């Protein structure tokens, strides 16, 4: 009798654990957030690639905003660990501002992907916050480009 009772408790415990591990955090219903993560990481890589003097504070601020946008999106999207599409500018590129222009393109693309993603009620407005952070990074880089 004790053996049956112990087995019953063990099976019940295993079923409970199995049920709880199957429950997953809120995830995006569309791939837009995953693509936005890739674009944001690529933009961050381009910004970090530029080590020009005098750009340090703005670089740091832009990267912080991008990291905040990434954190917002990761709350709703499964991060599959894909590598970003970053590649350093090709040899012979004469425009030293090319990485910043590329970063702007990727930030714009990320914002577009996030805008098309579904903002589930459980995600508590992450889409808008992610867009705000990406836009802040965009504005910082745009300001640097206009000041050169």
CATH number at residue 85: 1.20.1260
CA distances from 147 to 4, 30, 48, 57, 82 (A): 77, 38, 18, 14, 34
Question: Is the CB of residue 104 less than 8 Å from the CB of residue 78?
Answer: no
CA-to-CA distance for 3 and 5, rounded, in angstroms? 5
At 2 the pLDDT is: 65
The first and second tokens of residue 20, run together, are 């709880």
At 125 the pLDDT is: 80
At 50 the pLDDT is: 80
| 15 falls within a domain | no
Number of helices (H), then strands (E), belonging to the chain: the values are 5, 0
| 120 falls within a domain | yes
Structural domain containing residue 41? 27-147
At 17 the pLDDT is: 56
pLDDT digits (tens, 9 = 90+) for 8-54: 555 655 555 545 444 444 443 457 888 888 899 999 998 888 877 77
Mean pLDDT calculated for residue range 94-114: 87
Question: Is the CB of residue 119 less than 8 Å from the CB of residue 33?
Answer: no
- Average pLDDT over the chain reads 75
What percentage of the chain carries pLDDT values higher than 70? 66
The pTM (predicted TM-score) of the whole model is: 0.66
Domains: count for the chain: 1
| 5 falls within a domain | no
At 81 the pLDDT is: 47
Question: Is the CB of residue 40 less than 8 Å from the CB of residue 112?
Answer: no
Q: Would you tell me how many other CB atoms lie within 10 Å of the CB of residue 69?
A: 29
At 63 the pLDDT is: 94
At 86 the pLDDT is: 52
């Amino acid at each position: 009798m004790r053996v049956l009772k112990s087995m019953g408790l063990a099976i019940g415990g295993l079923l409970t654990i199995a049920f709880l591990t199957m429950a997953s955090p809120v995830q995006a219903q569309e791939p837009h957030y995953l693509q936005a993560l890739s674009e944001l990481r690529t933009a961050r890589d381009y910004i970090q690639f530029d080590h020009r003097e005098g750009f340090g504070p703005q670089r740091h601020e832009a990267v912080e905003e991008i990291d905040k946008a990434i954190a917002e999106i990761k709350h709703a999207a499964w991060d599959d660990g894909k590598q970003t599409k970053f590649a350093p500018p090709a040899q012979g590129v004469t425009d030293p501002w090319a990485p910043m222009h590329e970063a702007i393109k990727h930030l714009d693309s990320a914002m577009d992907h996030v805008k098309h993603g579904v903002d589930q009620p459980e995600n508590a407005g992450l889409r808008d916050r992610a867009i705000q952070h990406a836009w802040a990074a965009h504005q910082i880089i745009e300001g640097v480009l206009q000041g050169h």
